[in-house]
């Protein structure tokens, strides 16, 4: 067994890649041990076989089409949710990621990339000011023609940060700007796994300086939550809490129930309507899982 735990970088079926003594090394996953995830701290033996996974601080994932939770990465401190003017933004993707982060106890960070392009007058861009007022942190970045990632760099210089977002929003460009030796790291991973370096097909942790890790994930067009009870889902909407305590019914769904404190707050302008609408869409999705 290694004297100290090492960080898992990638997972592929019954094997993966970890950083061992500063180099990428292929690791075997025996069936008797739970499959580790990028971001996990693990123990291995001298042959490179997994012998144990350290307790996780957080576990982040997504739902499949049957509402089952599918883990993506472990031990995240934050998730950088990247949006951009191009390609055309998804209305719901940002709110789904925000909810997932809060439910999984991962700090969400909204990254608005490609600020050299005109900002669209459509959701989610029209929601950003209200989201900032609700306490969500927003960072603006640009990878060209004049790169500007300084503010983001200071936010991800410690801990483990996952990068997520639609295909084409510039996650790879941001990672290249943040990690000067990223191509060297991905080349080393490719030599160990025998897989190409041009397309992100699985979550991959990259070292960022001496104290941080950045986890790249494949671009998506859709992102769904998993089956959960209503109380868990409401953790993704913490701004509801102060108003939900005044709901007439303890099991209020904040939909059309009489005496609902949340819908009353929306009607009075104390809660943004777009967040309530996002809640209703996720609530409807949960109903389909049952």
Tell me how far apart the alpha carbons of residues 185 and 19 are, in angstroms, rounded to a whole number: 10
Regarding the domain with residue range 230-289, which homologous superfamily does it belong to in the CATH classification? Probable gtpase engc; domain 3 (1.10.40.50)
Measured in degrees and rounded to the nearest 5, phi and psi for residue 159 equal 80, -160
- pLDDT tens by residue, the chain, 290 residues: 557 899 999 999 899 999 999 899 999 999 999 999 999 999 999 999 999 999 999 999 999 999 999 999 999 999 999 999 999 888 899 999 999 999 999 999 999 999 999 999 999 999 999 999 999 999 999 988 888 999 999 999 999 999 999 999 999 999 999 998 888 788 888 788 766 554 456 899 999 988 899 999 988 888 999 999 999 999 999 999 999 999 999 999 999 999 999 999 999 999 999 999 999 999 999 999 88
Tell me how far apart the alpha carbons of residues 188 and 20 are, in angstroms, rounded to a whole number: 12
**What was the pLDDT predicted at 198?**
46
Indicate the SS3 state at residue 33: coil
Measured in residues, the chain has a length of 290
Q: Which residues are CB-contacts of 269 (< 8 A; sequence separation ≥ 6)?
A: none
Distances in Å between the Cα of 91 and the Cα atoms of 9, 13, 47, 287, 288 are 31, 33, 48, 20, 20
**What was the pLDDT predicted at 191?**
82
Indicate the SS3 state at residue 174: helix
- Write out pLDDT tens, residues 162-182: 999 999 999 999 999 999 888
**What was the pLDDT predicted at 133?**
97
- Number of DSSP helices (H) and strands (E) in the chain, helices first: 9, 13
**What was the pLDDT predicted at 212?**
96
- DSSP strand pairing (137-140 vs 204-208): unpaired
**What was the pLDDT predicted at 227?**
97
**Rounded-to-5 percentages of helix, strand, coil across the chain:** 30, 25, 45
**What was the pLDDT predicted at 207?**
93
The owner of tokens 């004049």 is 146
- Write out pLDDT tens, residues 192-244: 876 655 445 689 999 998 889 999 998 888 899 999 999 999 999 999 999 99
Q: Look up the pTM and report it.
A: 0.92
**What was the pLDDT predicted at 152?**
97
- DSSP string covering 122-164: STTGGGHHHHHHTT-EEEE-B-SSS-B-HHHHHHSSSEEEEEE
Indicate the SS3 state at residue 84: strand
Please check whether the domain covering 59-216 is classified as CATH 3.90.79.10: no
Instruction: Copy the structure tokens of residue 76.
Output: 């995240």
Where do the structural domains in the chain lie, given as residue ranges?
Answer: 6-53, 59-216, 230-289
Name the fold adopted by 6-53.
OB fold (Dihydrolipoamide Acetyltransferase, E2P) (2.40.50)
Ramachandran area for residue 85 (φ above 0: left; ψ -120 to 50: alpha; else beta)? alpha
């Amino acid at each position: 067994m290694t004297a100290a735990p090492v960080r898992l970088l990638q997972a592929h079926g019954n094997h993966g890649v970890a950083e061992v003594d500063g180099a990428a090394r292929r690791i075997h996953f025996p069936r008797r041990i739970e499959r580790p995830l990028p971001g996990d701290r693990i123990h291995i033996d001298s042959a490179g076989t997994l012998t144990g996974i350290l307790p996780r601080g957080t576990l982040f994932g997504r739902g499949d089409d049957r509402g089952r939770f599918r883990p993506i990465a472990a031990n995240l401190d934050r998730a950088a949710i990247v949006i951009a003017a191009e390609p055309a933004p998804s209305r719901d993707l940002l709110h789904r990621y925000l909810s997932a982060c809060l439910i999984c106890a991962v700090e969400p960070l909204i990254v608005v990339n490609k600020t050299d392009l005109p900002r669209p007058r459509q959701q989610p861009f029209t929601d950003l000011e209200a989201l900032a007022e609700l306490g969500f942190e927003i960072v603006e970045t640009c990878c060209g023609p004049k790169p500007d990632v300084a503010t983001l760099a200071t936010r991800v210089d410690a801990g483990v940060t996952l990068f997520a977002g639609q295909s084409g929003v510039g996650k790879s460009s941001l990672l290249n700007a943040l990690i000067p030796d990223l191509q060297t790291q991905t080349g080393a991973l490719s030599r160990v796994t025998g897989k190409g370096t041009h397309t992100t097909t699985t979550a991959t942790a990259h070292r960022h300086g001496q104290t941080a890790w950045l986890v790249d994930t494949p671009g998506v067009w859709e992102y769904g939550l998993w089956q959960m009870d209503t109380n868990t889902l409401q953790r993704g909407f913490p701004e509801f809490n102060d108003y939900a305590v005044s709901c007439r019914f303890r099991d209020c769904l904040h939909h059309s129930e009489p005496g609902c404190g949340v819908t009353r707050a929306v009607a009075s302008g104390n809660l943004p309507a777009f967040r309530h609408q996002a809640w209703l869409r996720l609530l409807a999705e949960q109903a389909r899982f049952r």
